[in-house]
């Protein structure tokens, strides 16, 4: 542990957070099998590492197939992430992403190519399903790196990216539910923690004709606005490595807000001689520790990917030493892939707020699967 001894960490959190602190179960066993393996074959086959939504949407499968076919590593991981961006059922990335507070979907992404150390990024991009491809176009067609807002949107149009309305009917209804229950006008009356507030949400969800089967999930979106994202890192059998991170950002964000995902060094960093680091979750906390770059830097210093991702999370915790109880209000995950194929993923909390299952990440090294993430703290049940 870096700045904070393990005892201080556990004591500080136990005092303030009111959670069961289990730094130890997963986190204190460096080299444990789960969530941090070294390929037995020394990296002689491709490895793709992604956030859990990469498994459900087919991103890891596509990226692995493209790597195995000999495609460039950046093209391969982007092709994987395009599956998530195109999938309207993932409401945290691309088409169907939840909009900002004005009902406008604004997308962020960045890409980084390890063999050349080149990169590109877009922020607050509108009307285009695939910000990862636009970020790659910025890298390929300009001498600059990061385009935002109207400039990014115009750039995508100029380069022939199809212009589409990104707001699906489902995302629009969830946004209306948020607006009707969270607007300033409506902030009198029962609070978020009151059963009455939940009843109000349910009644409004019915009025907005959100289908019954989708209502529970929609309400959870309001109570815990998602910061979901996809990060996808891939290394081929020659040890060439690239990465991409893509998101619609925190749901119902203030227009123009850009999080960590398109920031090279935060949402993603790749060093072709060391490895790659990516992140999902509350971007503001990641920006404060430059997580993507820090993960890679720790691996450069000789740390295993597992130690690297856990140490970055410990830095996030350290930033909250004055008010540790606030840690329970967000989650943040880091992913690390070394050029020899060793990988790990870790998250602040063992499971997402309001859910019972552990948070998982996706990996494909010939077998496409989900694994439980390492974590620092366990939520009270």
Three-class DSSP labels, 143-210: CCCEEEHHHHHHHHHHCCCCCCCCCCHHHHHHHHHHHHHHCHHHCCCCCCCCHHHHHHHHHHHHHCCC
When asked if residue 260 is in the footprint of ligand GLY (CB under 6 A), the reply is yes
Query: From CA 244, how far away is CA 71, in angstroms rounded?
Result: 15
Residue from 168, 280, 294, 314 that binds ligand GLY (CB under 6 A)?
280
Kindly state the number of chain residues that form the binding site for ligand GLY, as judged by CB under 6 A: 12
Catalytic residue among 19, 227, 245, 247: 227
**Closer to ligand GLY by Cβ: residue 250 or 342:** 250
**Closer to ligand GLY by Cβ: residue 43 or 277:** 277
Backbone angles phi and psi of 195, in degrees to 5: -60, -30
Cβ burial, residue 160 (10 Å; 0-12/13-18/19+): exposed
Token match 């979907």: residue? 105
Inter-axis angle of helices 169-182 and 195-207, to 10 degrees?
140
Residue from 114, 281, 292, 358 that binds ligand GLY (CB under 6 A)?
281
138: its two tokens: 């910025």
Q: Which residues contact 7 (CB under 8 A, 6 or more apart)?
A: none
CB 110 within 8 A of CB 245: yes
When asked if residue 282 is in the footprint of ligand GLY (CB under 6 A), the reply is yes
Please identify, among the stretches 201-209, 278-286, 296-304, 317-325, the one whose residues bind ligand GLY according to the rule CB under 6 A.
278-286
When asked if residue 227 is in the footprint of ligand GLY (CB under 6 A), the reply is yes
**Closer to ligand GLY by Cβ: residue 128 or 339:** 128
**Closer to ligand GLY by Cβ: residue 234 or 262:** 262
When asked if residue 297 is in the footprint of ligand GLY (CB under 6 A), the reply is no
Please identify, among the stretches 133-141, 158-166, 277-285, 369-377, the one whose residues bind ligand GLY according to the rule CB under 6 A.
277-285
When asked if residue 347 is in the footprint of ligand GLY (CB under 6 A), the reply is no
246: its two tokens: 């893509």
Nearest residue to 58 via CA among 188, 232, 290: 232
When asked if residue 250 is in the footprint of ligand GLY (CB under 6 A), the reply is yes
Residue from 249, 275, 278, 292 that binds ligand GLY (CB under 6 A)?
249
CB 294 within 8 A of CB 315: yes
> Is position 227 annotated as part of the catalytic site?
yes
Residue from 247, 314, 347, 372 that binds ligand GLY (CB under 6 A)?
247
When asked if residue 266 is in the footprint of ligand GLY (CB under 6 A), the reply is no
Please identify, among the stretches 16-24, 166-174, 236-244, 254-262, the one whose residues bind ligand GLY according to the rule CB under 6 A.
254-262
Chain-centroid distance, C-alpha 349: 14
Least Cβ distance, residue 244 to ligand GLY (angstroms): 13
Binding stretches for ligand GLY (CB under 6 A): 227, 229, 247, 249-250, 259-261, 280-283
Residues taking part in catalysis: 227
């Amino acid at each position: 542990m870096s700045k904070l001894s393990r005892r201080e960490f556990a004591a500080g959190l136990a005092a303030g957070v009111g959670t069961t602190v289990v730094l130890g179960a997963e986190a204190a066993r460096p080299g444990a099998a789960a969530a941090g393996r070294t390929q037995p074959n020394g990296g002689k086959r491709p490895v793709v590492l992604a956030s859990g939504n990469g498994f459900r949407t087919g991103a890891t499968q596509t990226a692995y197939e493209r790597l195995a076919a000999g495609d460039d590593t950046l093209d391969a991981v982007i092709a994987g992430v395009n599956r998530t961006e195109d999938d309207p059922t993932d409401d945290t990335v691309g088409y169907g992403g939840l909009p900002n507070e004005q009902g406008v979907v604004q997308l962020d992404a960045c890409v980084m190519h390890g063999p050349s150390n080149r990169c590109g990024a877009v922020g607050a991009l509108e009307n285009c399903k695939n910000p990862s491809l636009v970020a790659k176009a910025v890298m390929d067609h300009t001498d600059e790196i990061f385009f935002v807002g109207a400039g990014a949107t115009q750039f995508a149009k100029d380069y022939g990216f199809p212009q589409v309305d990104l707001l699906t009917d489902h995302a629009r209804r969830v946004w209306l539910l948020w607006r009707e229950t969270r607007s300033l006008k409506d902030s009198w009356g029962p609070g978020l923690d009151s059963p009455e507030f939940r009843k109000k949400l349910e009644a409004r969800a019915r009025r907005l004709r959100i289908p019954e089967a989708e209502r529970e999930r929609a309400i959870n979106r309001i109570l815990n606005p998602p910061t979901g994202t996809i990060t996808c890192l891939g290394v081929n059998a020659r040890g060439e490595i690239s990465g991409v991170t893509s998101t619609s950002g925190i749901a119902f964000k203030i227009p123009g807000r850009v999080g960590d995902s398109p920031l090279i060094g935060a949402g993603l960093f790749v060093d072709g001689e060391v490895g790659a680091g990516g992140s999902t979750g509350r971007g503001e906390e990641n920006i404060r520790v430059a997580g993507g770059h820090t993960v890679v830097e720790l691996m450069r210093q000789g740390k295993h990917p597992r130690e690297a991702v856990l140490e970055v999370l410990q830095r996030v915790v350290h930033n909250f030493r004055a008010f540790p109880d606030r840690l329970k209000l967000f989650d943040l995950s880091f992913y690390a892939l070394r050029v020899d194929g060793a990988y790990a993923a870790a998250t602040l909390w063992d499971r997402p707020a309001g859910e019972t299952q552990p948070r998982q990440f996706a990996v494909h090294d010939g077998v496409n699967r989900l694994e439980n993430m390492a974590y620092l703290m366990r939520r009270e049940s």
